[in-house]
Amino acid sequence: SSAGGKNYWFREFGRKIVGVGRNYREHAAELGNAVPTKPVLFLKPPSAYVVQGQSIKIPMGCTSLHHEVELGVVIQKGGADIPENQAMDYIGGYVLALDMTARDFQQEAKTKGLPWALAKGFDTSCAISEFLNRDTIPDPSNVRLWLKVNEDVKQDGNTKDMVFNIPHLISYISQFFSFEPGDLILTGTPSGVGPVKEGDTISAGLADLVSMKIFSHTKR
Amino acid sequence: SSAGGKNYWFREFGRKIVGVGRNYREHAAELGNAVPTKPVLFLKPPSAYVVQGQSIKIPMGCTSLHHEVELGVVIQKGGADIPENQAMDYIGGYVLALDMTARDFQQEAKTKGLPWALAKGFDTSCAISEFLNRDTIPDPSNVRLWLKVNEDVKQDGNTKDMVFNIPHLISYISQFFSFEPGDLILTGTPSGVGPVKEGDTISAGLADLVSMKIFSHTKR
Ligand SMILES: [Mg+2]
Ligand SMILES: [Mg+2]
Ligand SMILES: [Mg+2]
């Protein structure tokens, strides 16, 4: 399917979004977290998808919405218990993604030992660019990612700084969650996360391959 | 769609499973948790579905798999910000469901302030009975739920003891997660949760409306 001529095929029928937390050392540190010894996984529902031309809605009660720019990996082929050395064969392509996070909800969840579902999965919490076929990014382990809020550069990182690389993530996740075609993995964010307020414009890009611009406003 | 003549239509295309934790007072107490002041929400991916004739697989590394018998509410009509007094109109029907929980993974997550995704969302963590049309259960706020492990009754409760009732849950969830047709809500478990081991048989029922039997075994 497409919107505005852009290809977002996996958005229409993909059933799972698996997020990876703390997958860049400097980002783990900036939030006061240790670098994990195994991937930290969370889920967003597909109802969280949003694309350029729509807007990011600050959920009710949230006073600290944060941006996290990430490389999204789109799964093309279903499977479970995927060996690392076959993992790349399961990838259909990539997207630039924003893992929007209600940081205040997340802080409350962390403190109380409660799920992250609301903090990570609210409507519009997963902004995605158009789909990039896998051939577009021959080496996903070395791609620049950047994000601006209005005119200010907030994040400027490179996927080479991931703690767990893409084949490891696919293999690890598939031991617990079987993959289906159209699933998305959010591979974690580099440092520089911070607040997005009512009326801000977020711009983000993946090398010179794709960029997007999206507005935020309060839900009510 | 059907399997063995049974109707599981929502399993094939539903994209979201929203679980509600601590929604029965006695169950909150048995795990040492306070009764919540707002619903505790978590997510399972649709890859978690399993039905009678398949088996529940204890995930790798889990040493404390727990059963939780629940009433599942199947959404028929999409929507957001649904008022409580219209919520029942969004229901297509019900299922008997098992919210299988890796209690040890969950305990680690609670202690460390990490997501519940692995503890709640692993493959086979959402066992469901065949679909019951809404007309089958005129009053879902007063239905008996029971569960046996092998020959021993472990859970025997009634949906009248929910902390947050079904219209409240639908309305609350829809403020954050838009519903799509085929979504499932797991409405929480009565007290009596406990371990399921390799080779155990779980039997469960919803009043005299539906029952299911499912085996568990270690994944590897
Ligand atoms: Mg979670
Ligand atoms: Mg992130
Ligand atoms: Mg439960």
Out of A59, A113, A176, name the one closest to residue B118 (CB). A176
Please tell me the distance between residue B186's alpha carbon and the centre of ligand 3 in angstroms.
7
The pLDDT tens digits for A67-118 are 999 999 999 999 999 999 999 999 999 999 999 999 999 999 999 999 999 9
- Bridge-based pairing of strands B2-3 and B210-218 is unpaired
Both structure tokens of A83? 């060996």
Structure ipTM: 0.96
Chain B within 8 Å of A31 (Cβ-Cβ)? no
The highest-level CATH class for domain A2-218 is: alpha beta
AA letter at A85:
N
Per-residue pLDDT of chain A (220 residues; tens, 9 = 90+): 444 567 989 999 899 999 999 999 998 889 899 999 999 999 999 999 999 999 999 999 999 999 999 999 999 999 999 999 999 999 999 999 999 999 999 999 999 999 999 999 999 999 999 999 999 999 999 999 999 999 999 999 999 999 999 999 999 999 999 999 999 999 999 999 999 999 999 999 999 999 999 988 877 5
- 8-state DSSP, A36: P
Report whether A54 contacts A215 (CB < 8 A): no
The pLDDT value given to residue B6: 72
SS3 B205: strand
Contacts of B196 (CB under 8 A, 6+ apart): B56, B58, B65, B66, B67, B100, B149, B202, B216
Please tell me the distance between residue A151's alpha carbon and the centre of ligand 1 in angstroms.
33
Counting ligands in written order, the one closest to the CA of A99 is 2
* B180 neighbourhood in chain A, CB within 8 Å: 46-47
* A116 neighbourhood in chain B, CB within 8 Å: 114-117
Question: What is the Cα–Cα distance from B52 to B8, expressed in whole angstroms?
Answer: 11
Ranges of each domain in chain A:
2-218
Contacts of A86 (CB under 8 A, 6+ apart): none
